[in-house]
Amino acid sequence: MTMTTIASITLPTFYDKTRNLNNLLDWMTRATQAGAELIVFPEQVLQGYLPDTLSWNREAVAWQIEQAEVIAKGESVQALQKLATQLNVHVVFGMTERHPERAEVLYNSAVLLGPSGVAGVYRKVHQPGDEKHIYYPGSEFPVFTTPLGRIGMLICYDKVFPESTRELALKGADIMIMPTAWGYAGDGSQGDADPMVDSYTLFGRVRALENQCWMIESNLCGQHGNLHYHGHSRIIDPLGDIVADSGTTEGMALASVAIQPAILRARSSDYLGYHFLKDYVPMQAPPSPLTVHNRHAQPLGANNE
C-alpha cells in the first residue's frame, strides 16, 4: 500500500516578508526531514494577513500593495520553488498575488508548488469583511493533478459554503487543502472553548465527511494585528476523523496516510456502503438576493487553470 506523508504547519505571521519567508523555508526543511511529501502552510502567511476584518485600514492596504508578488516573477515564490525542487516536495502556501498585467489588482491566493514548478494557483472566491477592500475575488474551484493525487484548494471563509468543497469533490479532488487565518472570537483566553474553534472543527470534519475525501487545514497562531489565532492545523480523513492536529502553537500536524484506499473504503463500505457523490442529486438553487457581487463577472484573470 502506497503511503503519503503530509505535514500541515501552524505558524505565526508578521508584517515582515523576509522573516515570514525564512520561517517557511525552515519549516519546509524540518517537515521534509520528518518524511513529508506534501507540506501545507496558512493563509496569507507570506505577507501577513489583515490586522482586522471589520475595519478598513489604509496602512494595511498600502502594505499589501507594496508587498504583493506576481507568482511567475516573485522573488519569494522563486525561493520557495527552489527549495521545493531541491527537497522534491509539494508545498501549498498563502500569499497576496499581484495580477501579472494590472499592478493594482490583488488576489488572496493559495499556491501549489511541485518539484518541477508551479502546479496550481487558487484565488479565494468568498471574501469576508474588509478583504473586499483589498482583494479581487476568484471565480472558480480548479483541481490540479499531481503525483500525490488530485488536489483542490480553498481558503478560510470558503469552508463555510458547502458548494465550495462539493465542486472540488465532483471535479475529482482526492485532497482538499485549506490554508486559513481562522481566529478566536475573542482574545484566546477561552482556548478551545471559544465558539470559533468549535465552528472551525465542525466545518472541517463535515466537509471531509460529506465529500468522503481528505481535508488538510493549516492555520495561523498567536496574535497578528488585532486578531488572535488558534492554530489547530489538521489532517482529516474521508470519514471526518481528525488524524493529526498541530495544537495551538507553532508546530506541525504530521501523518502518513493511504490516500486512495481511504477514499475507496469511505465510498464503498465504511459508511454503511453509501457513496455520497454517487447518490448526490444536483439542485439548482437561486442566487441569494443579498449577493454583493456576481462571481461570473470578473474580467481580470478569471481563469486560474
Residues serving a catalytic function are 43, 124, 156
Question: How far is it, in rounded angstroms, from Cα 40 to Cα 219?
Answer: 9
Question: How far is it, in rounded angstroms, from Cα 240 to Cα 213?
Answer: 9
Give me the residue label for grid cell 439542485: 283
Q: What is the DSSP string of 164-176?
A: HHHHHHHTT-SEE
Closest CA to 216 of 48, 5, 29, 7: 7
DSSP letter at 88? T
Question: How far is it, in rounded angstroms, from Cα 175 to Cα 241?
Answer: 14
> Is residue 27 packed enough to be buried (19+ CB in 10 Å), middle (13-18) or exposed (0-12)?
buried
Cell of 136: 479581487
User: Cα-flanking dihedrals φ and ψ of residue 189, to 5°?
Assistant: -70, -20
**How far is the CA of 148 from the CAs of 22, 52, 55, 173, in angstroms?**
26, 36, 40, 11
- Asked if residues 215 and 238 have their Cβ atoms less than 8 Å apart, the reply is no
DSSP letter at 152? E
